[in-house]
Structure 1
């Protein structure tokens, strides 16, 4: 690995955010935002048409904007990626394709209990009677008129005509205009959440369908599907074989008629085809939407996944929330990448984590992905505008609107260096776990989901066991095994990857071709393990006598010399170049690579609470180096070398990581010692002066009265959520009134009212019109209205906004009052505006409880170390002086010494080396602590929103978990320590 390339990775390794084009696009703002991205360390962007877009999608104005961005990216050395749809799922071309005709629209096979006449939507395919009940099976075609699809519908991606039309009306337009940039400034195309079935009605069971599927089925299998359609829903007749054949065909059609066609088109033009499928996270989700995601990854240059929510799956969760995204999501995509020699694997991540998902948790989630082999990050979401839904669009917002954006480069540099490092050489994964999705083919029914989750649970449990034991593995998809699998003296090969051991998890069937490979592998003496079934048995369905059968393995495997699976038994059969030992050592997960003669180990603490000490034992005499992805430095690590083994002790702080390089020694002995086990002295530093807000404070207005024209009076005030729920928040020319409570007369106070650009036709304060000079706050579409001091009065002040014709901008939105004041929350419910001075009594405590509940900015904390001078003068061994914050709650924090920046931190350890900067008395220190948009944007009334696994736009006005009290996220600097750390000496 090249140290200079590691320190300054190429732009290709930098994150590529979803850039949401959700307003009226202008050249000036597009250029400004690209410049802001580059300054923040972003390598490029996906130009993503999204809800709120006012520029015509695929019109000439659209392509003019695309051209401008490609040219600007080229000028700045960035990459401009194509996103192939307006919204998602991909394939409908903003409504163009389904409008071509009935045959292009999405189809499904549905079961209904009633007979209906054939029409443009439904066509009867089979009538089936069971237990006295008649079931009718129909071909269903989605009607036009769905607002999600621009008033059209979704499309049938199992039909080649649809894919060809999609390419003709989307991709070829880009090629005609920007083909000369393909493979250069325009690296590739992102396809988002494509699916074989889009069905959102849980009351009607449905399966994928396409024109002529019955004929294709007969041609492939030699028997007719039509009289057996009921077997896809009901456990009747030879239903398992019918289901397996049906799903095998559906998955093949999806792969060959959609994924491969797009892959080939991109490949022939030097473009990288990437993106992700719908619902990769669990086997039952795949069956509901796609069938088999790994089958589709074969036709992606950069296979990808979607990580939704603020949590991820570990074996020892420290919160009670069940994560939406699981290890299956990541391991499925990186397994195919590893096997097919794809250097990169992508994740669209952070969506639904909330506006308070700060950089420390973004970094932690990044590490989880890196462990699995994800090395290209597409963070969600950088909005063109935060008007309307733009601020609630599956947050967090990633952009200059966030107070911590100025320190975002801490994360992007880290991601770039780690992405560079974890594309070097080859990932080591000697264990193959057969993926049981094809067992799900025969177990799944839209009427009964119960069996597939058991299959999923067994696979998850096995996967987590292997991760905890540091036994690297891939999943083996049976299609890829059939197509690329072979056995030799090396082991079982799937194209570029070779495995020395195979595990068969709980399953009900395997392909004959898979069994043949396993037989050949056993003949070569390689171990094949199976789960013993003591705690996980997958029901097989009703037997001949009506009694459910249970078996862990298909019958044809029982002739193989199978070993009962256990971690200990597997560990003795598979050589490991590194062993991690210590209490809670299983909480440290491992990614291993071989780069020439060097081994590279990435280890990450999956706990956000535990400090874990381990011994790392490397199975050869090595010189060790820490590749620090935060700084770009490469530092030697003292270690013990005894014969052909190298040992080092390492302490992992909560969420801590280590990128460890091990190079075989060339005859010299290693040096013993432990690098991060140094003695420390700690001194508490009191912060006794109040912090200074560096941006205006905020008063949130989210309760409104509505003027009722018929009655000529104002309604009672209600939360905005109530008006939205009643459908009364979006009528043009409607007047809304909010109250601002001033606790005292403050004639010197300068206030501004902030209203979103297209929300207000007219704004008044106490009946007098306000005028904007065009200045904005937070976002270019949030306009400021100056409030003359003569209009303000003690007690209740009325703020009125009249909605204009908003060109689709949505409903009434919260408004904000900004200025130099504090906000008292009476009983946590009623905000009262008062003077700012003297409200922060505890400088180290939560400022959201001390006058700044809705604040979205930064705070300055000044202090000196004069009282600590006597400690600095004492005799000590060589060492360093550090400032450390314990448990701060912030987006990022900067330290300034005498006005000069001494570094920024955004995650643990929150400490700064001041050895060279602490020069004696009169040395002034200042922390700047950056918050987030969470308390400004919300959700403000959703009780315990952190317990929600993923946050959607609907949660902001969700009344099911409603509380009248404002739910806020703390902003606090925490306790401050002065630390003296001795420099470790070699033992």
Structure 2
């Protein structure tokens, strides 16, 4: 049980959100709520108490265990962040959540990244503002007098900076890596001026300056985090009357970094703080200042050591200043600490933004990671894998039972449950087991719908069915939490070699090779089905080596893989030597370490040479000189079967020799599992002494895969959708291995376990789908034209059986015409306006609101910020000002139910006129959103051309009508020249895209019905209804009985028990996404094809 001491010194009660739960079939079927998703609840609106209670109850209704309160864009329009009004709502949320049965957690920042308390830290104390060091270079021809002012940007950008150090070097010496510098600091004068009479050159002048990035804190300064805790966490504590027990469970920190200035690009900038020189000298015993150029240029000698020392000092200080302080505060106050880091995907950015990620992840009670966008790791984007594997490795090695992943941010408004499952499956197969959706918006009115969409909350068309997705995640999280991860391979995390080869302004050959090969190894090991963890050198130092294995926490690795590395610690070499001597294996790629950055350096290269039989210095020289173009596996071995292999060559990523890597690894270990499709990924865990294999197909093509597990037992399928557990009927036992086949659906997944084999009757091969086997018979079905072949095993004896084929019946095709009704409102969207600026506030008297007004000379606008669409600049002195918007639409027949949504009317006040009449009445809460209002406009419309005019008082350049104008109701749209006309609803629709049949902007559920005749000859066979509805959600009723719901592939229903001979009523409901109505995207939706496929039933006597 994971426990954290509370402020009173006692232990908190077990919380399954962090601890996991023991294995049972019953718990799998009826999984504890705590394993459900844990979303961000975006507080971005007026936070009305009644609406908040409604939304909390919606969370509970869908099986969600709790929420993270998260301040977002929009909240400041209603209340200051961390104000009394804010905490009134926090207390309300805690109280209602207790009553309802939800856990409350806190995201510790306004928007992101964490650390500033909504910019209050820097406002209170500007000295806590982030600092960075920038190198400013000048080319000095010499002999030449230089007068470099560090005050402005006339010649080079030196504004708002403080001098740190200045020196000069001959360009020839710089090119040759000769560190002969002239110290120019004695020449500093007039506060910030370097005055220097340069001798004959040419020269490079280096001026190192300190600057501030005003919007973030100095996370290397412990006082910054102290102030952050004071302004944020302590206020929550006060709001909870100094007792979090039963109130707030934990705090989430998001994307902090030790450096946040232009971190996404290469430049002459590195992290800095006020006391770096002091900290550096304390850590390493020498002055950093004269060595600063070595952080930017290769200057021979101790360059690598200086770089390592610099980045290690920053890493330790950042860890101490930020993560240790927050962890200690959380533990002292009995709450859980979780969150994730910045730039988790790329080694080069690890160095720049954070240093060493493992140093910080070890302080989280629940390890966390981030994954954005609707994409996953691929051969082309292996870095996406890296982020997940760093985090899961840390969780395994530091004992975090759960691994949280912030997911789905930026997954677009067309997100389907299949897309959500696809992303979740990939995250989970890499070790995640706590799903943290980003995010659930309190409101999506106006520009808030563009705050990292989508909102996956009550707004969504499929929200009523969200519990289906949550149940899937809940079962998967339960099964993959607790127990232990199984992997035989550890891959060295090469951050120390990244540091020693790092230059912030440009890439290097060796640095790029390290990262490229590290990424290639990551992706390829997954495709070879050889699971692994990364291992940091400090973690490795504390490992135990026994019986040829490296043991850390619950992990045991028998093969250590080194990506290309140039420098390691002596402690790492110690472990490598012990592992080799004890019968374990080491595999190195392209570059061997030749430098020791910590420990005894004397004799280091000789020890590497003795271990691998290869000279590491010579290998690097040959690599840099591009003398390696072929791959050779060089191997050392000892009498205990220890092996040290080196793949000599240009680096694995250069030519991607997958088979060679597979060959090298198989000299060292036998994989747990073998799968014949490299697109398939797997995860092996042991839970309560039972082996589980989570198998995932992350691509859109289905696949018949053959699987061999090198263990005894018979395969069972644990169905995450239904909670059912069933033994497979068809498998082959080969010695101590089990072989079987699975059809992996597009974006499909399967959870397989091994149960003890007790001599059960089973099939080794079958051309039929077997539904049941007992001692006497086999039952199954299939569509076969040729005789089926079965190989049965009974009492240890094999028997081949031929099953005569029955001619398969023809599929039953549906008619092209369906009864149809829209469950939800159709929409007409308008994005074309005529706009005038009413400086004199006389627009009403001039008739701007009248339907007959001539606006031909007005400006043409689209939705969006008004001032940004002006042809000339606007004087801000003229705010506030009235704008008039006018547009037109056609109505063929006025519907009984038609409304105008008030969405994105950003301004102080507005009036709406339809056909010259002012629209009276206050908007009410719409069907779409808590703060998108709707107004009934039926009585204002007429048949023919209709005019809408809007007067909007704006007070800023980003005001205006920011969204598509939405007219919603019960109608269809009929194509006319230039757009659509509103017409009466239809009662039937054809197979195909409903967007082309009057519903181009409809987001909701289309209800289809059709009567279909089933002949008597079909009854008694297996009947499956197959539907093509894209990747939307389908729900089926047959003869008014619910058959089921398909939120993802396969879009197939077994209707055998629901049909009868004769006429049958088939009702299908298809639910699409919000992108049609919110973005005006005519995404194809509906039933594109449907048919009933009969499968002949077979029974075979044994």
Into which bin does the TM-score normalised by the smaller protein fall?
Answer: 0.7 to 0.9
Mapped to 2, the partners of 1:459 and 1:603 lie a distance apart of: 24
| 375-384 vs 559-568, which moves further | 559-568
**In structure 1, what is the equivalent of residue 4 of structure 2?**
none
Conserved? CA contact 1:754–1:777, under 8 Å: no
CA distance in 2, matches of 1:167, 1:531: 45
- Residue pairs, 1:86-485, within 5 angstroms: 86-113=110-137, 115-117=149-151, 121-130=160-169, 131=171, 132-143=203-214, 153-178=215-240, 182=244, 184=246, 186-200=248-262, 205-237=268-300, 238-315=302-379, 326-451=384-509, 452-482=511-541, 484-485=542-543
In the alignment, the residues of structure 1 paired with residue 1097 and residue 726 of structure 2 have an alpha-carbon distance, to the nearest angstrom, of: 14
Contact between 1:340 and 1:496, CA under 8 Å: does it hold in 2? no
Matched with 1:769 is: 918
- Structure 1, unmatched stretches of 5+, are 144-152, 316-321, 941-966
- Provide the residue aligned with 2:186 in structure 1: none
Which has the higher mean CA deviation after the structures are superposed, 809-818 or 972-981?
809-818
Equivalents in 2 of 1:27, 1:66: separation in Å?
A: 11
RMSD over aligned Cα, in angstroms?
3.2
Distance 1:824 1:541, change over 3 A: farther
Secondary structure of the structure 1 residue equivalent to 2:248: coil
Q: Counterpart of 2:534 in 1: which secondary structure?
A: strand
Q: Which residue of 2 aligns with 1:752?
A: 899
Determine if contact 1:189/1:274 at 8 Å carries over to the other structure.
yes
Please give the secondary structure, in 1, of the residue aligned with 2:278.
helix
Q: Any idea what the Cα deviations from partners look like across 1:388-424, whole Å, max 9, x if unmatched?
A: 2221111111111110111111111000100000114
Hey, what's the Cα distance between the residues in 1 that align with 2:858 and 2:987?
35
| Separation in 1, partners of 2:382, 2:526 | 19
Q: Distance in 1 between matches of 2:860 and 2:495?
A: 54
Deviations 1:493-514 (A, max 9, x none): 2333221111111222212111
| Residue 548 to residue 187, structure 1, CA distance change in 2 (3 Å) | farther
Cα distance 1:32–1:323, how it changes in 2: closer, same or farther (>3 A)?
Answer: farther
Match of 2:73 in 1: 51
Post-superposition shift, 1:687?
A: 3.8
Match of 1:950 in 2: none
Judged with a 3 Å threshold, the aligned counterparts in structure 2 of structure 1 residues 272 and 324 are, in CA distance, closer, same or farther, namely farther
The CA distance in 1 between the partners of 2:493 and 2:1098, in whole Å, is: 48
8 Å Cα contact 1:650-1:676 kept in structure 2: no
Task: Give the whole-Å Cα distance in 2 for the aligned partners of 1:206 and 1:665.
Answer: 62
SS at match of 1:832: strand
Q: In 2 relative to 1, CA 921–802 (structure 1 residues): closer, same or farther, beyond 3 Å?
A: farther
1:324-383 CA deviation, whole Å, 9 max, x = no partner? 961001000000111112111111011111111211011011100111110001111110
- Structure 1 distance, partners of 2:228, 2:895, is 61
Say which structure is richer in strand: 2
Q: Does 1:492 align with 2:550?
A: yes
Quote how far apart the aligned CAs of 1:801 are.
4.2
CA contact (8 A) 1:309 1:324 kept: no
Alignment correspondent of 1:906: 1047
Does the 8 A contact of 2:591 with 2:620 survive in 1? Answer: no
Q: Is 1:896 equivalent to 2:960 in the alignment?
A: no
Which residue matches 2:693?
Answer: 601
Match of 1:692 in 2: 821
Structure 2: distance between partners of 1:699 and 1:518: 68
Aligned to 1:575: 670
- Cα 1:569–1:296 change in 2 (3 A) is same
Secondary structure of the corresponding residue to residue 899 of structure 2: strand
Structure 1 counterpart SS, 2:421: helix
Using the TM superposition, give the Cα deviation of residue 550 of structure 1 relative to its aligned residue in structure 2, in angstroms: 8.3
Question: 1:918-937 maps to which residues of 2 (within 5 A)?
Answer: 918-921=1059-1062, 923-937=1064-1078
- How far did 1:254 drift? 1.3
Aligned mates of 1:383, 1:650 — CA distance in 2:
39
CA gap 1:183/1:885 in 2 versus in 1, 3 angstroms: farther
- The count of residues paired between Structure 1 and Structure 2 equals 922
Question: Which secondary structure state, in structure 1, belongs to the residue aligned with residue 359 of structure 2?
Answer: helix
Task: Tell me whether 245-254 or 588-597 shows the greater mean CA deviation.
Answer: 588-597
Matches of 2:734 and 2:267 in 1, distance apart?
67
SS at match of 2:427: helix
Q: SS of 1:780's equivalent? A: coil
Any idea what the Cα deviations from partners look like across 1:461-492, whole Å, max 9, x if unmatched? 1111111111110001122223x223122511
Verify the 8 A CA contact 1:747 1:790 in the aligned structure 2.
Answer: no
Query: What residue number does 2:597 align with?
Result: none
Change (3 A) 1:544 1:341: closer
TM-score by length of 2: 0.79
Query: Partner of 2:402: helix, strand, or coil?
Result: coil
Q: Give SS of 1:255's match.
A: helix
Q: 1:613 maps to what in 2?
A: 704
2-structure distance, mates of 1:357, 1:899: 30
- The DSSP-based 3-state class of the residue aligned with 1:248 is helix
In the alignment, which of 843, 846, 862 is matched to residue 993 of structure 2? 846
- Largest Rg, 1 or 2: 2
- How far did 1:748 drift? 5.2
Select which of 748, 751, 759 maps to 1:659.
751
Match of residue 836 from structure 2: 707
Tell me which residue corresponds to 2:606: none
Aligned partner of 1:716 in structure 2 is: 859
CA distance in 1: counterparts of 2:28 and 2:404, whole angstroms: 20
Post-superposition CA distance 1:873-914 (Å, at most 9, x none): 4xx5xx53222113x125322112344433211100112222
In the alignment, what sits opposite 1:949?
none
SS in 2 for 1:460: helix
What is the CA distance between 1:14 and its match in structure 2?
A: 0.7
Q: What runs of 5+ residues in structure 2 fail to find an aligned partner?
A: 1-22, 138-147, 153-157, 172-202, 593-615, 638-642, 648-660, 771-780, 784-807, 844-854
Whether the 8 Å CA contact 1:189–1:271 is kept in 2: the answer is yes
State which drifts further: 675-684 or 439-448: 675-684
Q: CA deviation at 1:576?
A: 3.4
Shift, 1:246, TM fit: 0.9
Partner Cα separation in structure 2 for residue 543 and residue 645 of structure 1: 43
Change (3 A) 1:809 1:43: farther
Q: Distance in 1 between matches of 2:256 and 2:838?
A: 46
Q: Is the alpha carbon distance of 1:688 and 1:515 closer, same or farther for their aligned partners in structure 2, counting shifts above 3 Å?
A: same
TM-score under structure 1 length normalisation = 0.87
Change in 2 beyond 3 A, CA 1:544/1:524: closer
Corresponding position of 2:723: 632
SS in 2 for 1:220: helix
